[in-house]
A and B are shown apart, each in its own frame.
Chain A
Amino acid sequence: MKKTFWLAGAMALALAQPALGADSIKIGFVSTFSGPTAAIGNDMRNSFELALDHLGRKMDGKPVEVIYEDDGQKPDVGKQKTEKLIQSDKVDFIVGYIWSNVLLASLKTAVDSKTFLISANAGPSQLAGELCSPYVFSTSWQNDQTPQAMGTYMNQKGVKSVFLIGPNYAAGKDMLAGVKSTFKGQVVGEEYTVWPSQLDFSAELTKAKNSKAESIFVFYPGAAGVQFLNQYAQAGIKAQIPLYTAFTIDELSLPLQKENALGVPGAQQWVNDLPNPENKKFVEDYRKKYPNLRPTFYGAQSYDAAQLINSAVVAVKGDVTKKDAMKAEMEKANFKSVRGPFKYGKNHIPIQNFYLQDVVKDADGQLALKTVATIVKDSQDGFHDKCPMK
């Protein structure tokens, strides 16, 4: 009743002052909406739209306008789209970026124009270190953090040696470096594959099998993760050498990986079954709004990005020209994240928990991801010392 009253009041006010209602919060969203990894971009867009629904599609009473742009998973295209959004659409915030190489190519444009950029996935080491900026925030992680958690878990399991395989691009190198920094056993071998064109990993799997390593660690996001797991299982290596992963099994790839993913552990800062109320609402409403789909960590990070922007807009009462005040507000991470509470480091990268996720059969016999344990609490990236920001 009270809500309706306020709503009516707000509407009357909006009608009375059309000049105020005319300006809106403009957000540019760069992600991959075409090609083999389009499903990831769709999930990010779905989650961002759901967050706007939950916010009543308004931030501090102002309508929100989102312009989605497709980077085609290519750094040059991502940079062009970022320039277009900033220079001709004049967006107030720019969000998205799945791929580290796309983000690195686009970063300078955003920073030079002093437009706030929220990375909802990519976390290259440079972003946390020397390229950190007052105008850049992350609602995800720094690339090394997740594999670092996996390395810690492998130590806990008493794994003595590992064979590392990953794609030859910015994130792939960060990921393998991450495992190496925490894993105490021996690294028997390290293979990089051509990204994103190489899809057959037979040569690498044969080497891993013959290396006598006790375990294999891989990082293959998107469809490559499906291909790797299929080939790993078909080659019969699953029965011999256990696999540890980062960003290889998620709600998008699991329906394609099927039984091949059963029992393969991964590390993640967000899993769909985290018990906080915001997360329950996010996951439930997502599945209601998009039947047959489940949100992924990419989506959860995009949902958080919308909430982070909202917190900044509300703090300056909708005056998005007050950049310093918005920056100060965002640094507090003053919103209810679906991963649970977290803090920002001085480089604007989250200091957060990482969980162990496993693939299990849920009550109705479907494969699902499940949180098993907390691997590390309040993990901070290893590059914050290189960031000159105070």
Chain B
Amino acid sequence: MVLVEQSLNGLQFGLLLFLLAAGLTLVFGIMDFVNLAHGSLYMMGAYFAATFTAWTGSFILGVLLALGATLLLGIVLEFVALRHLYGRDHLDQVLATFGLILFFNDAVRLIWGPAGLALPLPAWLTVPVQIIPGVYYPAYRLSIIIVALAVAALLYVVVMRTKIGMLIRAGASNREMIGALGINIKLLFTLVFGLGAALAGLAGLMQAPILTVQIGMGENILILAFVIIVIGGIGSIRGAFLAAIFVGMIDTLGRAFLPDLLRMVLSSAAASTAAPALSSMLIYLLMAIVLVVRPEGLFPAAKR
């Protein structure tokens, strides 16, 4: 019973990470652009959702508006700032997007203040539901799993079954060639960046009721997203999906069961201290092993 519940916790965390990593891997893989400000878009999604929900009084409406707003913000950001950085090397991009993190953090402090916001859930999402006899799971976490799976399926269909998806895949494997074939690569990049922004925003606003909406909320989680795209293979949505679930499971199950395992060999106090440190190390260990065995990631996008 505990195992089922903890696995669901891991799955939910993994799927949330997937939403963040999917946008990052698209932008990194297709546009060859390192976007550290991806975490800021995650934060903006959460702030938009909290604001719009307070304005409209409806959680669903607030979330939909926030999604649109983050998409728009992503497109504007690409158009105004990032477009000029494509030709530059990665260091310039890292510096510029790091600057954007500072910009967004201070913009949020100016607009919303330093204290953070709350995004309360409607009552129907705050009850635990019985999924199998005897196992109750929070309705909201369950809805995260469902929404994220639906988005994953939608992404799969878009990327694998539509013309736009074909262009995106083509862009991931050979950027110059599709430009030479007369495809409007600029428009494609704007579109991909907007999509990535919307995915980050979705992750942020879905995480918001569980965590607080606060300045810098995207920074810690962005590190995990980078770990996932490295494990999954840069530019690969499928890789990001599987790697995210891996990472979510390892992190949660590690936290859940490692302390008890360690207590069998160590004293209780030492185990309690060592376990959280060790469990947060596990995913980086996984990344190191993947880098040694398959430097391209587990499911690399087609070779350039």
Total B residues in contact with A, Cβ cutoff 8 Å: 45
Given the known inter-chain contacts A168-B276, A234-B209, please indicate yes or no for A202 contacting B120, CB distance below 8 A.
no
Q: Please report which residues of chain B, range 263-304, place their CB below 8 angstroms from some CB of chain A when the two chains form the complex.
A: 268, 272-273, 275-277, 279-280
Q: Give bound CA distance, A255 to B113, whole Å.
A: 14
> Smallest Cβ distance from B123 to chain A, in angstroms?
10
CB atoms of A234 and B121 under 8 A apart: yes
Return chain A residues, CB-CB under 8 Å to B120: 258
Of the candidates A39, A204, A210, A235, the one having the most CB atoms from chain B within 10 angstroms of its own CB is A235
Q: Give bound CA distance, A234 to B207, whole Å.
A: 13
Given the known inter-chain contacts A203-B9, A234-B126, A255-B118, please indicate yes or no for A36 contacting B277, CB distance below 8 A.
no
Q: Give bound CA distance, A256 to B54, whole Å.
A: 13
Q: Give bound CA distance, A193 to B136, whole Å.
A: 23
Return chain B residues, CB-CB under 8 Å to A168: 273, 276-277
CB atoms of A202 and B9 under 8 A apart: yes
Number of A-B contacts defined by CB within 8 Å: 106
Given the known inter-chain contacts A207-B256, A256-B117, please indicate yes or no for A202 contacting B212, CB distance below 8 A.
no
Return chain B residues, CB-CB under 8 Å to A257: 118
Question: A38: which of B114, B141, B253 is its contact (CB, 8 Å)?
Answer: B114
Return chain B residues, CB-CB under 8 Å to A378: none
Which stretch (B19-27, B153-161, B213-221, B236-244) binds chain A? B213-221
Which stretch (A12-20, A139-147, A225-233, A369-377) binds chain B? A225-233
Q: Give bound CA distance, A202 to B217, whole Å.
A: 18
Question: B252: which of A194, A202, A233 is its contact (CB, 8 Å)?
Answer: A202
Return chain A residues, CB-CB under 8 Å to B13: 200, 202
Q: Please report which residues of chain A, range 171-206, place their CB below 8 angstroms from some CB of chain B when the two chains form the complex.
A: 173, 190-194, 197-200, 202-204, 206
Return chain B residues, CB-CB under 8 Å to A194: 276-277, 279-280
Is B5 part of the binding interface, using a Cβ–Cβ cutoff of 8 Å?
A: yes
CB atoms of A206 and B210 under 8 A apart: no
**What are 18 of the A-B contact pairs (CB < 8 Å)?**
A35-B215, A36-B116, A36-B217, A39-B116, A190-B272, A194-B276, A197-B220, A202-B9, A202-B13, A203-B256, A210-B1, A210-B2, A210-B5, A223-B214, A234-B140, A234-B141, A234-B210, A257-B118
